[in-house]
Amino acid sequence: MTKRLLKAEDLYALHSITNPQLSPNGEEAVFTRTYIDEEKNKYVAHLFHLDVESGAVTQWTYGENRVSSPSWSADGKSVAFLSNRNEQNQIYIIATNGGEARQLTTLANGVSQFRWSPCGKNIWFSGRLKEGKKFTDLVEKEEKKKPTAYIVDGMKYKADGKGLLPQGIYNQIGKIDVATGDVQLFSEGNHHYSLEAVSHDGGKLVMSVNRAENKDFDFSQQIILVDIETKEETTIFHEEGHYGDAYFSYDDRYIAFYGSDRKYKNASHGAVYIYDTEEQRYWNLTQDFDAPVGDAAVADHQQGATAPTVVWTEANDLYFQVSTMGDIRLYYATLDGAIYPASPEGEHVYGYDVERNGAFALLAISNPVLPGEIFKYDVTTGASEQVTHFNDDFVEEVELVQPEAISYKSSDSLDVYGWLMKPAQYEEGKKYPLIVEIHGGPHTMYANSFFHELQLLAAQGYGVLYVNPRGSHGYSQEFVDAVRSDYGGGDYEDVMAGIDAVLAEHSWIDKERLGVTGGSYGGFMTNWIVGHTNRFKAAVTQRSISNWISFFGVSDIGYYFTDWQMGTDMKDVEKLWQHSPLKYAENVETPLLILHSEKDFRCPIEQAEQLYITLKSMGKETQFVRFPDADHNLSRTGLPSLRIERLAQITGWFEKYL
């Protein structure tokens, strides 16, 4: 059978299979399937049931909305989940023996997260609550609301994907009676609380909060163990950094949680921390393990994919994800610090759950030629069985290119890793153009995962080079930290050395037809590249940074991210200007397409406007495309029609100039 070439519109044919959750007895599981409704231009997600023994899959929910965060009750008789059937996410419960899902909450501002109480009679949740209001208060209806002024006091007043943050509204923790629907407020004070865990005996909560009066430069997180009956608090951790997502061991003695300190600012490796409730001490379980805990992969297919920081077994062993050498693998650990890989190389494990006795796991797995399915995995023997098959038809019908893993030495002899894709339907002896893709972050990584955009470029007849330059996760703490204060230095050399390496090894690449593109940090690097070399015949910059000086004040994270990444702030404008691609606009000779979202608060569109007007005023070959109703995540979670248009703009530009 001759397979067809992949198309941009294949986004509509793909299914995102995520969030496997095993039942307490390990005999059943639920998961979510997300797809794009082309006609309605929206994402739809449903809940599915899996019989682990037989492999039988049954759809449990229907409709035109999204389901997320499925969770079993302790007795295995019910599954709760979030759904946006009524605009805001609310909690729904479905009986495992059949029947319709029942809406449990009707909160004015919806539910952010929830955890079952072990008794099954209550569900703990967190949600946004206006100061002085109750969770049960109805939304005040205003027929024609007059515009009012937004008074800004602090520096954290806006966020990408949210816009201006609501004032006087805080994330609070409450409890709802499953039978009666009665709601009680548990947390106190005007602070943002996160619900982390409920003990197996039902007597304690773990929650996190920052109670600092001025949070502009306070990035500490207080993790608190709370006695539900007395509300007595025990602080188990309070340090600068990003911490949370806690899990009790089955005997309730230990609490595992995620942590990333501020030693290397936001480049610090994520770690697993353990708190011993008997000895009242904590330690970093992965302190001597030079790889980040969690999933650092960047791609564009998986929708709503979440994974726990850890999963305990009854023997008090742990499983967690690790991003390492281009893979996201499942790892196993003991409390004394022994850590071993538990899943194979060459995969992206983007979701998982482990049976409580540790006999097997359900893994959501992707690789460069597999969009993603759920596998039953024997953690002892390594035997693996695919149990969902939603993308089988797509894989059988469409020609997908298996990339070649590469490694090379950069200009300073640093080892750099990446991948090279040949064009689809490659013919020996022909010359092909090559496009270099650069990921965002920069503290993320390309991985052994399905990437629709990369496959599309290969289907259009391009070779594709994508590498993890210094600053990327997955190789070492030293490697990921190496880009800070040196944007456009060693990272630029890493990308260019990659081009030299593949040109030396692959005669099919036409060195006169090179293109480059990337978004966010990858957009910065695209801008930097075209200002420092004329090797490329075409470039597309997306959601980029062009001017660090203005970025400091206009980005939702600019005032601290600039210091974290560039090592300075507005006290050293000269350094910021030295590392700003806009400074080198006069050098640009490469035709540059500039793509940017109107509602991007992370890298605001003024970054693109400055670059475009500057280049245009200098008579450079450039074009500017603005996307309405889109934020920084257009390429991943944006409106489907705009995602298709974005891909058309990219491929159209390269077709014109390459």
Domain of residue 645 covers: 401-657
0.75 surpassed by pTM:
yes
Domain count, the chain: 1
pLDDT value for 274: 98
CA distance 34 to 264: 36
Active-site annotation holder among 269, 439, 596, 632? 632
Handedness of CA 171, 177, 179, 180 (dihedral sign): negative
pLDDT per residue as tens digits for the range 125-134: 999 999 888 8
Q: 313-343: string of b/e by CB count within 10 Å (b at 16+)? A: beeebbbbbbbbbbbbbbbbbebeeebeebb
Q: 73, 520, 550, 635: which one is catalytic?
A: 520
pLDDT over 90 for what percent of the chain?
94
> What average pLDDT score do residues 376-386 get?
94
Residue 73 pLDDT grade (very low, low, confident, very high; cuts 50, 70, 90): very high
Q: What does the DSSP 8-state code read for residue 59?
A: E
The torsion angles phi and psi of 157, rounded to 5 degrees, stand at -115, 0
Q: Is 242 a catalytic residue?
A: no
Residue that is written with structure tokens 């050293």 in the block: 572
Token pair 């098959």 in the structure block, residue:
389
Task: Report the distance separating Cα 269 and Cα 289, nearest Å.
Answer: 10
Confidence of residue 279 (pLDDT cuts 50, 70, 90): very high
Q: Look up residue 620 and give its amino acid.
A: K
Q: Is 30 inside any structural domain? A: no
Give the confidence band of 498 by pLDDT, cuts at 50, 70, 90.
very high
Mean pLDDT of 409-434: 97
Contacts of residue 366, Cβ cutoff 8 Å, sequence gap at least 6? 299, 301, 302, 347, 348, 350, 372, 449, 450
pLDDT at position 622 over 80: yes
pLDDT digits 0-9 by tens, 192-245: 999 999 999 999 999 999 999 888 999 998 999 999 999 999 999 999 999 999
pLDDT tens per residue across span 156-173 = 999 999 999 999 999 999
Residue 159 lies in a domain: no
Query: Phi/psi at 459 (nearest 5 deg)?
Result: -65, -25
Tell me how far apart the alpha carbons of residues 348 and 366 are, in angstroms, rounded to a whole number: 5
Strand 509-519 and strand 538-542: the pairing is parallel
pLDDT of residue 261: 96
Note whether 212 and 248 are within 8 A (CB): no
Give the number of other Cβ atoms within 10 Å of residue 563's Cβ: 17
- pLDDT at position 143 is 53
Residue pair 141/188 in contact (Cβ under 8 Å)? The answer is no
Identify the CATH number of the domain in which residue 600 sits: 3.40.50.1820
Q: Is residue 630 part of a domain?
A: yes
Residue 360 included in any domain: no
What pLDDT does 138 receive?
A: 62
Query: In this structure, is residue 41 part of a structural domain?
Result: no
622 inside domain: yes
471 has pLDDT over 60: yes
Q: Cis peptide before 442, with omega less than 30 degrees from 0?
A: yes
CB 192 within 8 A of CB 209: yes
Q: Please, which residues have CB within 8 angstroms of residue 560's CB and are 6 or more apart in sequence?
A: 217, 219
Task: State the residue for tokens 């564009």.
Answer: 300
Q: Is residue 576 domain-resident?
A: yes
Helix and strand totals (H; E) in the chain: 11, 39
What is the Cβ-side half-sphere exposure of residue 63, based on CA atoms within 13 angstroms?
13
Residue 230 is predicted with a pLDDT of 97
Q: How confident is the prediction for the chain on average, in pLDDT? A: 96
Tokens of 538: 């075409």
257: closest CA among 166, 195, 323, 315?
195
**Rounded to an integer, what distance in angstroms lies between the CA atom of residue 559 and that of residue 570?**
9
What values do phi and psi take at 498, rounded to 5?
-65, -40
Q: Is residue 210 part of a domain?
A: no
241-255: string of b/e by CB count within 10 Å (b at 16+)?
bebbbbbbbeeeebb
Q: How many CB atoms lie within 10 A of CB 615?
A: 22
CA distance 452 to 464: 12
* Average pLDDT score over residue span 160-189: 95
Across the range 316-335, mean pLDDT stands at 98
Q: Give per-residue pLDDT as tens, 340-360.
A: 999 999 999 999 999 999 999
- Sheet with 169-177, strands from edge to edge, namely 113-116, 122-130, 169-177, 183-185
Identify the bridge partners of residue 417 per DSSP, sorted by sequence position: 407, 468
| Closest among 558, 489, 517, 528 to 651, alpha carbons compared | 517
520 included as an active-site residue = yes
pLDDT of residue 403: 98
Over residues 358-377, the mean pLDDT reads: 97
Give me the sign of the Cα torsion angle 158, 162, 163, 168.
negative
Q: The sheet that has 78-86: what strands, in order across it?
A: 67-72, 78-86, 88-95, 102-103
Helix, strand, coil share (%) of the chain residues, nearest 5: 20, 35, 45
Average confidence (pLDDT) over 642-654:
98
